[in-house]
Structure 1
Amino acid sequence: MIRSLSISFLIFISLSFTQSFAKEFRIGALYWSMNIEGQVSMRKGLNKEFNRLTKADKKHTYKLIEEVAGDGEAGVEKQIQQMYQMISKNVDAIIIQPTNIAALVKPLKLANQRNIPVVAYDQFILQGKMTSFITSNNYQAGYLNGEYIASLFDDNFEIRLILVEYPMVSSTVERVNGFIDALNEHGQKFKILKTYVAVEPVSGANAGDEILRDFPFKSSIDVIFTINDGGGVSMTKKIIAAKRDEIKIATIDGDPESIALLKAGKNIVINTAQFCGQLGAKSFEILFNYLHGKSIPTKVLVPVFPITKDTVKDYPGWDGEIPRPFKKPWKNEYWNNKFVESKK
């Protein structure tokens, strides 16, 4: 009896000792905005993968320290300070959706000096070493929009084009590059009438007002390319309210409200959608593997899906599984559904 109690006591002490000295991974998670629905879905995907992977790991404990920067210049400045705070807390790793490609260079370099791994998703940071960078295939998104728009016009027709861009982050720059390259490679003539800057609902609505003020007459614009639904939805609503149904709008993200406008035939003719949940989940999976000494890619591009009136039935939504390849109705070519990984 005494021996049995002694063995039980020793087992209890052993388990307590193991639990007391189990490694706790403290991970700083820095999000950009909770006002851009695609970014909210990315966070949900990240959180879901965090819960799945950490629950299965019985040897370690995990703490996710979360902060949201917010929109505009104030959000950029806030995220800089948030990153410095995570470094001062000496977290084991940082996972971040940058608000600006240049503003976070100094804190990233400091994290490098402190040997704190940094995984960035959606946007990259211009200088310094990122442990890994995960994003949607933004060039593919712009290119798919451009090739579809080119299919709607005769090659000899010069498209009068408006760009609604946001040159402060990498993803949106790549989208514009892809769009313009597709028009050029398909031999489509075009003229950029003017560019505007918008990325979230307020700036999108302002851009809509400015476009209508600058081009008040019908048939003065053929196409508007907007780099995301964050600003694109509110901009499109302004165009709809003004009854400018002759304007074709190409956008990116896959926001449900934007897709509903496409289905209803309200100006939007293509929306190349992200798989936001999978992007967030993939980002945490890569960080988790790195913390456990596994080989990881330094860059991952998540495929994007071209939603048109003909393909909308096949899009599973932000949180869905990536569909199989299909032949694009506007071109005798298959859509590429592959992740692109690099270890350079």
Structure 2
Amino acid sequence: MRWHMRRIACWLLLSVSVHASASGSEPWQVGVLYWSDTIASQQVMRRGLEQEAERINQQARATGQRGVRLHTMVAGDGSEGIERQIWQMRMMVDNNPPDIIIVQPTDNAALIEPLQRANLAGIPVVAYDQYISGGVLASYVTSDNHQAGYLGGEYIASLFARQRPLRLVLVEYPLVSSTVERVNGFLDGLQAAGVDYHILQSYQAVQPQEGVQAARDLLRDFPDKGSVDVVFTVNNGAGLSLVETLVAAGRSEIIHATVDGDPGSVDNIRDGNLTRIDSAQFCALMGGTALQHAYRVLQGEAVPRQVIIPAFPVTMETLELYPGWQGSLPPSFTKPWPSTSRQWQNRLREGD
């Protein structure tokens, strides 16, 4: 890699955030590679993971078992973040290998070689949120991203008559599996509801400033009120700033569907600020489950190769049921809008 050595300190070990148990047992060394520290949902995933580490260590102190010590790095956003995470994972494997690595990939393909390097070194790897498209993962924990998009598509379909094709703008991010699956799910949801649509334009954004730019591009490309029916954003990282920019420009006629469950987006639904549905992730649960599985792998236990956490449809009708990013799965319920699957189910799906 081309990074200058004097910059290494910026990306090396950011914290040893959870300490060994007081019993004297040597803790398991857990390398954790986070993606972003600017995207709010990812911050909550991190808190969930680190809170689970605290719980594990409390239990370890009480039982005399081995706890965990986390060694964390943050890649950062954009193309530099992708390259940085490649370098971080290589350094982690080659220079001071931990007992296990947990990674939130910045890119599905970029980490193939570092994952294969970990495989050859005998270091198990657990991924969460995003997949790595080559190599072997001990376990993969993610939201049901296709479901997240599908819920948005079927709900938006319930708001429109069928006299003409829906005029749709997509704000997507094709570099990671989760956001690709969300777009596919959204379009599948529209199609299953019998809605014809026309994709007017696609923009790329997952971070707040990118969302502002996507909104500016939309306003430039479609300056007339009524020229766009719906904007679908693949996350709240871009979606919140996009909505804010469109509202400031007076484009309140546009309907917005999105994914994540950010409190600001929930407020937009409650206040009628463009957003009609936000398919929420259970972010803390995702991060915590990733560490649970890593700890079980370290103890020699079998874990499912894949865990899929359901997404929750936050709408005006379901606001009171949504417990927030840090909450547990709410009870199953019947959707109050037309759907090919009327029941929302509160269960995790596991498999190989």
TM range (shorter): over 0.9
Distance of 1:134 and 1:20 partners within structure 2: 31
* RMSD (Å), alpha carbons: 1.3
Distance of 1:142 and 1:211 partners within structure 2: 21
Alignment counterpart, residue 305 of structure 2, candidates 298, 304, 328: 298
In structure 1, give the amino acid aligned to 2:160. Answer: F
In structure 1, give the amino acid aligned to 2:142. Answer: T
Shift in Å at residue 59 of structure 1? 2.5
2:12 alignment counterpart: none
Shift in Å at residue 61 of structure 1? 4.1
Contact conserved, 2:115 with 2:125, CA < 8 A, in 1? yes
In structure 2, give the amino acid aligned to 1:339. Answer: L
Contact conserved, 2:56 with 2:67, CA < 8 A, in 1? no
1:65 alignment counterpart: 71
In structure 1, give the amino acid aligned to 2:57. Answer: T
Tell me which structure has the larger Cα radius of gyration: 1
- Where does 1:247-262 land on structure 2 (aligned, <5 Å)? 247-262=254-269
Matched, 1:340 2:343: no
Higher mean alpha-carbon deviation, 23-32 vs 317-326, is at: 23-32
Aligned to 2:162, what secondary structure does the other structure show?
Answer: coil
Contact conserved, 2:146 with 2:182, CA < 8 A, in 1? yes
TM-score by length of 1: 0.92
Distance of 1:60 and 1:328 partners within structure 2: 45
1:82 alignment counterpart: 88
- Where does 1:222-261 land on structure 2 (aligned, <5 Å)? 222-261=229-268
Distance of 1:220 and 1:90 partners within structure 2: 55
In structure 1, give the amino acid aligned to 2:133. Answer: L
- Where does 1:258-273 land on structure 2 (aligned, <5 Å)? 258-273=265-280
1:10 alignment counterpart: none
Shift in Å at residue 170 of structure 1? 0.4
Distance of 1:110 and 1:257 partners within structure 2: 40
Distance of 1:340 and 1:237 partners within structure 2: 35
Distance of 2:333 and 2:77 partners within structure 1: 37
Structure 1 runs of 4+ aligned residues shifted over 3 Å read: 19-24
Aligned to 1:46, what secondary structure does the other structure show?
Answer: helix
Distance of 1:20 and 1:282 partners within structure 2: 25
1:29 alignment counterpart: 32
In structure 2, give the amino acid aligned to 1:336. Answer: Q
Distance of 1:216 and 1:91 partners within structure 2: 53
Alignment counterpart, residue 283 of structure 1, candidates 290, 295, 315: 290
Shift in Å at residue 86 of structure 1? 1.1
Alignment counterpart, residue 43 of structure 2, candidates 30, 40, 44: 40
Shift in Å at residue 22 of structure 1? 3.7
Contact conserved, 1:226 with 1:250, CA < 8 A, in 2? yes
Matched, 1:100 2:103: no
Query: Any stretches of 5+ residues in structure 1 without a counterpart?
Result: 1-18
Matched, 1:53 2:60: no
Shift in Å at residue 192 of structure 1? 0.3
1:4 alignment counterpart: none
In structure 2, give the amino acid aligned to 1:75. Answer: G
Contact conserved, 1:26 with 1:62, CA < 8 A, in 2? yes
- Where does 1:213-228 land on structure 2 (aligned, <5 Å)? 213-228=220-235
In structure 1, give the amino acid aligned to 2:34. Answer: Y
